[in-house]
Amino acid sequence: MPATKFLCKDGNTIPIRQCLKQCPNAQRCMFLPTLRSVADSLDRKLDKPSVTELIAGTRETYLKQRCDYAVDPMQQLYAVHGTAVHTIQEGHNQGNIITEERLADSITTGKFDLYGQIVDLSDNTLGDYKVTSSYKLMKALGFYKVDVPTGEVYKTGLKKGQPKTKKEWRTDCVHHLLEWAIQLNYYRILLEQARFKVKEMVIQALCRDYSLRMAAERNITRPLYLIRINKISDRWIKRYMAAKAMRLKRALKENHLPERCSVRERWHNRKCESYCDVAEFCPYGRLMKRTAVNAA
Ligand code: SF4
Ligand code: SF4
């Protein structure tokens, strides 16, 4: 079941339909058409779990299908922003380009953003739009800082005699983009099953906080990056997704709460504390929220 309620900024919840009809407050928290597009983006009309639902933690996806949960429309704006990026480019996809086709197999279903002649003369690139933060981009691009000796030493103070260092950026760290890579690789598999050849996979990542100083401090110097995604073995990816689909299906059938999401899926607890829409229905989520409040 998709989210059925909005969480208002005063902490109250309201059925989405009722909010769209009439806000009980003197003024809406955002324009009505924006609220309508947020509501529309939540509407899930699928008969099987999508690629993105399977990539998320099984417990999170299970709770989203079982619980009558609320979402904060403010937190959904970036998802709507992502859809808007697609819409802006609609009408400019002439030539050998296919967009937003939904494909399915026996495990899952997924809608890719773009396929065709999108980055070079090859006509078989699979593309995906992302609107993301400078932090996530820094991680995805493998940027990190190291201390490099300047050749000078401190002449006074506590560090007297010690070599001076300066921070320098390196770009050869592990690229933390496994979830994006699984998503694109599964779309590739779906396309190949439909007899389309995929030569490469590329993400066009738009940085939503590019104009902030924080982005420059993370070495993000452009508003947009193209990130090439490596191929993951079909065998591994299909086994991984089939196992997750099976776990979800069994939990839904037997009506039991799956084990908590993995450390990666719950972003080392950051998701449970602040970003999981179903945390209030999850014992671990409630614990993490309480711990975060007590620590504050
Ligand atoms: S417009 Fe905003 S404040 Fe009003 S009911 Fe809807 S979500 Fe709540
Ligand atoms: S609160 Fe954490 S563990 Fe629970 S469903 Fe959400 S992400 Fe998963």
Q: Is the CB of 6 under 6 A from ligand 1?
A: yes
Q: How far is it, in rounded angstroms, from Cα 199 to Cα 116?
A: 10
Provide the 8-state DSSP code for 260. P
Question: Is residue 28 within 6 Å of ligand 1 at its C-beta?
Answer: yes
> In testing the pocket of ligand 2, which one of 53, 55, 179, 271 has its CB within 8 Å of the most ligand atoms?
271
Express the helix, strand and coil content of the chain in percent, nearest 5 each. 40, 20, 40
- Residue 93's pLDDT is 65
In whole angstroms, give the CA distance from residue 133 to residue 114: 22
Beta-carbon-side half-sphere exposure of residue 220 (alpha carbons within 13 Å): 26
Rounded CA-CA distance 259/246 in Å is: 14
Report DSSP state, residue 267: G
pLDDT, position 42 = 84
Determine the pLDDT at residue 85: 67
pLDDT, block means (10 residues), the chain with 296 residues: 88 94 94 91 81 96 94 84 67 75 93 90 89 93 92 91 91 89 97 95 93 92 95 96 96 96 95 94 96 85
Alpha-carbon distance of 56 to 137, in angstroms, equals 19
- 258 vs 265: CA distance, rounded Å: 14
- Select from 257, 266, 277, 288 the residue to mutate for testing ligand 2; criterion: most ligand atoms less than 8 Å from CB: 266
pTM as predicted: 0.86
Helices (H), the chain: 16-21, 32-42, 51-55, 58-66, 77-89, 134-141, 178-193, 213-217, 234-254, 270, 283-295
Counting ligands in written order, which one lies closest to the CA of residue 75?
1
Q: How confident is the model at residue 90, as a pLDDT? A: 67
Q: Are residues 245 and 186 in contact, defined by beta-carbon separation less than 8 angstroms?
A: no
DSSP 95: S
DSSP-based three-state secondary structure for 5: strand
CA 170 to chain centre: 25
Whole-number pLDDT of residue 150: 92
How high is the pLDDT of residue 133? Answer: 92
Report whether residue 276 contacts ligand 2, using a CB cutoff of 6 Å. Answer: yes
272 lines ligand 2 (CB under 6 A): yes
In the reported structure, the alpha carbon of residue 54 is separated from the centroid of ligand 2 by a whole-number distance in angstroms of: 14
Alpha-carbon span 160 to 97, nearest angstrom:
63
- Report the alpha-carbon distance of residue 257 to residue 273 in Å, rounded: 19
